[in-house]
């Protein structure tokens, strides 16, 4: 194809125009931030050449140079492909060159849900710091702040498996306290309601009651200075809590896995689970169902009367 009909713009100009388009699509702040981070890394790697001069080899070299997991590299690929698709739609490039670059294959990670004993251990470590020794004094600990807030976060994550970015963006007006459900704006600006049980509702009520004055437009979970609890802050809080409890790998997505597998074990159907989790397809939900069935089979081997009584 000839390139003569396309205006000559550089990468910085292309990114600026694309981000204006992104902001107009009402994507979540976290999604927009991810796009910005990817494009910033790409520009740091490649400089500011004319868009017309960039090739498939440049895209491949950028992806190969990133010290990240295949899943993250796939996200980078998706963002760059979205940029080039927009440029092509605007008649600024002759083709989407990223489509010809092989997509990274995400690693198949082992999904290990948290066990009931681990959840109880996490909840029991919300109040006190880890013991520490001060020179010339006895080993001691201290009371931690935000006990009620952090308990409400744990229970909410476990109760419906929301993504951490979704949890971070919940505002008080999103809560439907009469029906024990919460409005969620998920990936791709898809809207849904997620349920929560009475115990979680009580934890949220206690947190909000002790928190002090707030308005419907305030974020549900906030810091000491009333700023939004970002996903990074939530992840750090959970990691610190896991360290105090002696449990490795405590992160928000593990609560999502735990909810999904526990839901199926308890007899929940995969179609309702898909709606609660906000998945666009049943693929991941079926995977949870397979894991739940494996757990049932393993448990049966230990609990079967025929096996246990050696009949």
Pairwise CA distance, residues 219 & 56, whole Å: 43
Domain spanning 11-100, CATH class? mainly alpha
**CA distances, 147 to each of 157, 178, 184, 241, 292 (Å):** 16, 25, 24, 11, 32
Task: Give every CB contact of residue 129 below 8 A, 6+ residues apart in sequence.
Answer: 141, 142, 143, 144, 244
What letters, b where the CB count within 10 A reaches 16 and e where it falls short, cover 95-105?
A: ebbbeebeebe
**pLDDT at residue 3, rounded to an integer:** 45
C-alpha 84 chain-centroid distance: 26
**pLDDT at residue 2, rounded to an integer:** 44
- Domain regions of the chain by residue span: 11-100, 116-129+140-305
Cα dihedral 216, 218, 223, 224 in deg (nearest 10): -70
**CA distances, 70 to each of 51, 66, 203, 229, 232 (Å):** 26, 10, 38, 28, 21
Closest CA to 45 of 64, 29, 30, 27: 64
Q: pLDDT tens digits for the chain (311 residues)?
A: 444 567 889 999 999 999 999 988 877 777 888 999 999 999 999 999 999 999 999 999 999 999 998 889 999 999 999 999 999 999 999 999 999 999 988 776 667 889 999 999 999 999 988 877 777 777 778 889 999 999 999 999 999 999 999 999 999 999 999 999 999 988 777 899 999 999 999 999 999 999 989 999 999 999 999 999 999 999 999 999 999 999 999 999 999 999 988 888 888 888 888 899 988 777 778 877 777 765 655 555 555 555 555 55
pTM flag (> 0.75) = no
Phi, psi of 305 (to 5 degrees): -60, -40
Domain spanning 116-129+140-305, CATH class? mainly alpha
């Amino acid at each position: 194809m000839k390139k003569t009909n396309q205006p000559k713009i550089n990468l910085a100009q292309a990114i600026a125009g694309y981000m204006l388009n992104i902001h107009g699509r009402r994507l979540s702040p976290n999604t927009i931030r991810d796009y910005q981070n990817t494009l910033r890394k790409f520009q740091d790697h490649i400089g500011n050449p004319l868009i017309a001069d960039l090739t498939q080899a440049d895209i491949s070299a950028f992806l190969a140079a990133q010290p990240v997991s295949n899943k993250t590299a796939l996200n980078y690929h998706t963002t760059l492909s979205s940029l080039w698709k927009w440029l092509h739609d605007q008649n600024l490039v002759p083709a989407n060159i990223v489509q010809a670059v092989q997509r990274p294959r995400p690693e198949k990670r082992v999904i290990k849900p948290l066990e009931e004993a681990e959840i109880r251990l996490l909840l029991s470590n919300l109040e006190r710091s880890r013991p520490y020794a001060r020179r010339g004094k006895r080993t001691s600990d201290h009371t931690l702040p935000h006990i009620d807030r952090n308990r409400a976060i744990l229970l909410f994550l476990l109760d419906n498996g929301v993504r951490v970015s979704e949890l971070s963006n919940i505002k008080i007006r999103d809560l439907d306290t009469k029906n024990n459900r919460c409005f969620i704006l998920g990936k791709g600006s898809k809207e849904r309601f997620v349920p929560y049980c009475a115990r979680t509702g009580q934890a949220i009520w206690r947190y909000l009651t002790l928190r002090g004055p707030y308005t419907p437009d305030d974020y549900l979970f906030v810091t000491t200075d009333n700023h939004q609890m970002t996903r990074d802050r939530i992840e750090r809080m959970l990691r610190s809590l896991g360290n105090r409890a002696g449990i490795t790998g405590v992160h928000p997505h593990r609560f999502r896995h735990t909810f999904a597998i526990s839901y199926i074990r308890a007899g929940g159907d995969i179609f309702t689970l898909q709606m609660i989790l906000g998945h666009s397809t049943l693929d991941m939900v079926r995977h949870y169902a397979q894991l739940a069935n494996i757990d049932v089979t393993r448990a049966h081997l230990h609990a079967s009367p025929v096996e246990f009584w050696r009949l």
